[in-house]
Each structure stands twice: as structure tokens, then as C-alpha cells.
Amino acid sequence: MIMLRRSAERGYADHGWLKSFHTFSFADYHDPRHMGVGNLRVINEDRIAPGTGFGTHGHRDMEIVSYVLDGALAHQDSMGNGTQGGANAGVIRPGDVQRMSAGTGVMHSEFNHDAEHTTHFLQIWILPKYRGIKPGYEQKHFAEAAKRGRLALVASPDGRDGSVTIHADASIRAALLDGDERIEEALDPARNTYVHVARGRVSVNGQALEAGDAARLQGEARLALSGGQGAEVLVFDLAA
């Protein structure tokens, strides 16, 4: 069974400095039909205006993945990331994937310090396998060549193939598709597969999807991505 989630059906919030589309119920947007898929709880498509951002706020017991499409996002947290002398620079750009494990609790901020350009990114929340873990942070870069015409693993429970490590029964892969490029692979029908189109156009198991659209594959044994037109796609493998 394939269930489509069209971009125009998503929740939307315009805060002036922040314009955000919510795939699943979030903040003031609530739809009991769209509370998440498996352990995937949030996909927010955010655009942050130049010189603005999220002030310091807290999270706990959540795996938070940020995937930048355009611009740059500067991150600072109570673990010391993004501060002078910290373990990580905390600035992520297109091709970068950032993972923050909130665990027992973490405070952080996210800003677009560019005076002219909007930052466009996906904010993803996945429920952790265990509560109360030690907070953690990781960021890695994935070159376009690694995603061209293939699904590159960018987040996984064990950090294999150079992916960031998320403490959840889930993985995220990313692909870029254009023209004749095609991806086909077997799926475990007992798990949830969720395909989110970050940009462009692509066919998912014969269904035409555009930027912001998504497809939930349940009980399906095969994934086929084809007909890409400037497409950037995230594929989630999730606990049932």
C-alpha cells in the first residue's frame, strides 16, 4: 500500500522570520491523521530569514537531524558545540547532516547569520530507542557524488558507511536523481518506508511526486525511484 502526502496538505506557519511546513502535527498545527510514521515524529521544512533564528531552547529524549538544502545554519548548544574551543564548529551547509541526541536534556540555538540569504533546511525528529541517554552531537558532510543516482546512507543506528549515528531503530538515506537515473531495491514489508521529496520532481513506485510531497510505503517489497528532475530525496527506514 502506498499513501501519498502532498505538499499542499501539510501544516504551515508564517512567523515572519520563519516560514515552516509541517508534514506531521507540530506546535499549533494538529491533525490526528498525521501524527508521524512509526518512530518518525517530525519533518519540518523551514526557511529562516537572514540574520534571524531560533533562540536558546531545550529538548530531551529525541534524536534531531538537520539537513540543509540552501544557506547555512549555525548551531550552539550546552555541550559546547558551536562555541569557541568547542568540539564542533556547529555550522552546517548543503551536503551536511547534523545529529543531536537530546537525551537527558540539552539547550541549543540555531541561527542564520547571513545578512542576505535565507537558510532552507529540513528539521527531522525521531523517537529514540531508549530514554535518558547521554546527550550527544555529530555532523558529517556527504558529497553530491555519493548521492548521485544512488541512495547514500546518511544516518543509521550503528554509524555504518560513514553515516551519523542516531539512537533509534531507523535509518535515513539521501539521493539525487535526474533524467535516466533510476534506483530500485528490495524493502522489508514488515517495516515502514517513508520517502520525502526535498526538491525537484521524481516518480516513487510509479507515483509522480514534487518538492514537499511524500509517500508512505507499507507492506511493500520494492522501492523504485525514477524520472528525476532536479530531485533530492530522503528515504526513511522505520520501525513498524
What SS3 string covers 149-191?
Answer: CCCEEEEECCCHHHCEECCCCEEEEEEEECCCCCEEEECCCCC
- Does residue 225 sit in helix, strand or coil? strand
29: confidence class by pLDDT, cuts 50, 70, 90: very high
Number of domains in the chain: 1
Report the candidate in 36, 62, 65 with the shortest Cα–Cα distance to residue 130. Answer: 62
Q: Supply the pTM of this predicted model.
A: 0.96
Full residue range of the structural domain in which residue 213 is found:
2-238
Convert the pLDDT of each residue in 164-201 to its tens digit: 999 999 999 999 999 999 999 999 999 999 999 999 99
Convert the pLDDT of each residue in 134-162 to its tens digit: 999 999 999 999 999 999 999 999 999 99
Q: Answer yes or no: are the C-beta atoms of 139 and 96 closer than 8 Å.
A: yes
Q: Answer yes or no: are the C-beta atoms of 91 and 75 closer than 8 Å.
A: yes
Per-residue pLDDT, 231: 98
Report the candidate in 126, 141, 57, 136 with the shortest Cα–Cα distance to residue 92. Answer: 141
92: confidence class by pLDDT, cuts 50, 70, 90: very high
d(CA 82, CA 87): 8
What phi and psi values does residue 51 have, to the nearest 5 degrees? 70, 15
d(CA 186, CA 188): 7
What SS3 string covers 10-43?
Answer: CEEEECCCEEEEECCCECCECCCCCCCECCEEEE
Domain harbouring 19, CATH code: 2.60.120.10
Per-residue pLDDT, 157: 98
pLDDT above 90 for 87: no
pLDDT above 90 for 84: no
83: confidence class by pLDDT, cuts 50, 70, 90: confident
pLDDT above 90 for 90: no
Per-residue pLDDT, 201: 98
Q: Answer yes or no: are the C-beta atoms of 42 and 10 closer than 8 Å.
A: no
Per-residue pLDDT, 14: 97
54: confidence class by pLDDT, cuts 50, 70, 90: very high
pLDDT above 80 for 202: yes
